[in-house]
Structure formats: C-alpha cells, structure tokens
C-alpha cells in the first residue's frame, strides 16, 4: 500500500501546483451545480483532468470517482476518489483554505464506490496555499509532512471546539443554522471554514476537538476521514453507521460519543 500512498501524494502535489498557479492567474465561476452557490471553476475541471490522465496511464485497471464528473469502473477492486479542489468558494475568493483530496479505496466484489461499504487504503489532503500535506495509510498512522498526528486529548463538551459545515440548498442551510444555534451555548465555540477534507485533518492534528457535517459527497471525506481515523479519531456516520451523505462525525472517541448524543438530543439528525 505504500506504493498507493506514494502515488496519492504525487498526484496531490502535481494537482496542487496546477491549482495554485491557476489561482495566481485569476479564477472565475465556470458553472453552477446543485444551486447558484454551488460553484465550479475551470480550474476544478482542469485539475481533475490532470489527475485522471495520470491515473489512466499509471493505474489503468483502477476505477476513478471524481467530483467534476470522472467516473471509471474498476477491474482491480480499487477506486481513486478525487476532489480536485475542495473548498471551491474559498478558492474563488482567494482564501488560503482549500485542498486537493485524493484517496484510494477498496470496493467489495467490484461494486460501485460507496462510503458505506468501501475500505479506504491510503489518502492525501494537500492545502496548496500553505503547503501543508496530510497523509494516511490504513494501519500505519497519519502524518502532516513527517510529523505524526494525534487527536486532541479528551475534553468536556463545554470546552470542545467544534467544526462544521453547511449544505448548498437554502432550506437545508436554514435547518443547519437552527442546529448550530442550539449547539453553540453547549460547547466552547464553533468554526466553519468551508473545506471538509481539511476540517477532518485538523481534527487529526488536534486543532479542532471535533467535526460534524451532513450532506457531504464521497470525495469530500474519503481521504480526510482516513487521516482522522489513523490519528485516533472515531469517525462515524448516522447512529453508528459508516460515514455517508447522512452524517460524518469525527472526534476523540469519548468526545465523539458525547457529541453524537448531544446532536441527537437537539434534533440535528432530523430529516431536512
């Protein structure tokens, strides 16, 4: 698997260099997707094409699942899950908090890549604006560069710094705002920086005590979830299931349990 991690890192570095260069040159919205605030830039598409072309050349039997439309079936049982620019709105506005996220997952019986059933083997999350690179290999720990990562020590909920994010649909965002209003008085504070893959890596590095979000797509969390898990976090979905669009929650295990119960109590898991 070290070979897979090495390739994920190499892909992320090449993709990140292209993304950063395009950011310096200036970017603009190329299209919108699910809603008017769900934007894509031409750089998103170009970066994904770069990754896809290298994977086709170096791992032709592997599948690919990419945010900007790449979908190649796997004959090897392995699928590369690619978010070419996670945090596109930050990227568009020139905020130095966006990421290239690349993971390779094993899918059972050659089926479709589904976070409910896949097994993440290796992953890399790179912030091109800062140069920080987070990596993980299953069973081998998580790292920021050469520094091994560990989740924060256990804290009481009222001393926990919690990160979250919001969906694109206005009605869903309104519901999530209500949840945050109920949660905020019961924790130290809440952060929303807009890049799920980095939020998960920040949990891994103890910069956040916990992170939760609903409505994420598989490419948003494939690599970051592995980094957090390998750093000692409990990474879970809705009511004990695997992480999925329904929910991802990551924290030191005892805090994860308490935060999950609190979120359930305040109605965070209700249908939108």
Lowest mean pLDDT among 27-31, 126-130, 149-153: 27-31
160-219: per-residue pLDDT in tens? 999 999 999 999 999 999 999 999 999 999 999 999 999 999 999 999 999 999 999 999
Query: Can you tell me the distance from the alpha carbon of 23 to that of 44, in angstroms, rounded to the nearest whole number?
Result: 11
pTM: 0.96
Give residue 67's Cα distance to chain centre: 12
245-260: per-residue pLDDT in tens? 999 999 999 999 999 9
64-121: per-residue pLDDT in tens? 999 988 889 999 999 999 999 999 999 999 999 999 999 999 998 767 899 999 999 9
Given CATH 3.20.20.70, say whether it is the number of domain 2-148: no
Strands of the chain (E only): list them.
29-32, 39-41, 63-66, 71-72, 78-86, 99-106, 119-126, 133-137, 142-144, 147-148, 161-163, 189-191, 210-213, 234-236, 248-251
Q: Which fold has domain 157-265?
A: D-Maltodextrin-Binding Protein; domain 2 (3.40.190)
Q: Are 98 and 129 in contact (CB under 8 A)?
A: yes
The pLDDT of residue 200 is: 98
What sign has the CA pseudo-torsion 59, 242, 187, 151? negative
The pLDDT of residue 91 is: 95
* Domain boundaries defined on the chain: 2-148, 157-265
- Pull the structure tokens for residue 260: 């999950």
The pLDDT of residue 184 is: 98
Same fold for the pair 2-148 and 157-265: no
The pLDDT of residue 240 is: 86
The two beta strands, 161-163 and 210-213, are: parallel
């Amino acid at each position: 698997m070290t070979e897979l991690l090495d390739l994920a890192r190499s892909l992320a570095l090449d993709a990140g260099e292209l993304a950063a260069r395009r950011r310096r040159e200036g970017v603009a919205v190329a299209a919108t997707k699910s809603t008017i605030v769900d934007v894509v830039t031409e750089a998103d598409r170009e970066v994904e094409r770069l990754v896809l072309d290298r994977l086709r050349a170096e791992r032709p039997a592997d599948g690919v699942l990419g945010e900007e439309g790449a979908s190649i079936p796997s004959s090897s049982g392995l699928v590369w899950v690619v978010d070419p620019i996670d945090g596109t709105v930050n990227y568009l506005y020139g905020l130095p908090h966006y990421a290239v996220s690349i993971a390779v997952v094993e899918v059972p019986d050659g089926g479709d890549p589904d976070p409910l059933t896949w097994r993440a083997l290796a992953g890399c999350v790179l912030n091109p604006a800062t140069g920080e690179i987070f990596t993980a290999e299953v069973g081998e720990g998580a790292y920021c560069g050469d520094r091994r990562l560990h989740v924060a020590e256990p804290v009481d909920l009222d001393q926990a710094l919690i990160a979250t994010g919001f969906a694109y649909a206005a009605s869903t965002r309104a519901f999530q705002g209500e949840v945050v209003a109920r949660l905020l008085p019961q924790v130290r504070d809440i952060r929303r920086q807009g890049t799920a893959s980095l939020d998960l890596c920040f949990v891994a590095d103890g910069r956040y005590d916990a992170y939760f979000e609903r409505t994420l797509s598989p490419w948003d969390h494939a690599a970051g979830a592995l980094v957090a898990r390998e750093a000692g976090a409990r990474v879970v979905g809705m009511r004990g299931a695997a992480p999925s669009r329904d929910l991802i929650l990551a924290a030191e295990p005892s805090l994860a349990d308490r935060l999950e119960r609190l979120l359930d109590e305040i109605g965070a898991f209700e249908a939108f």
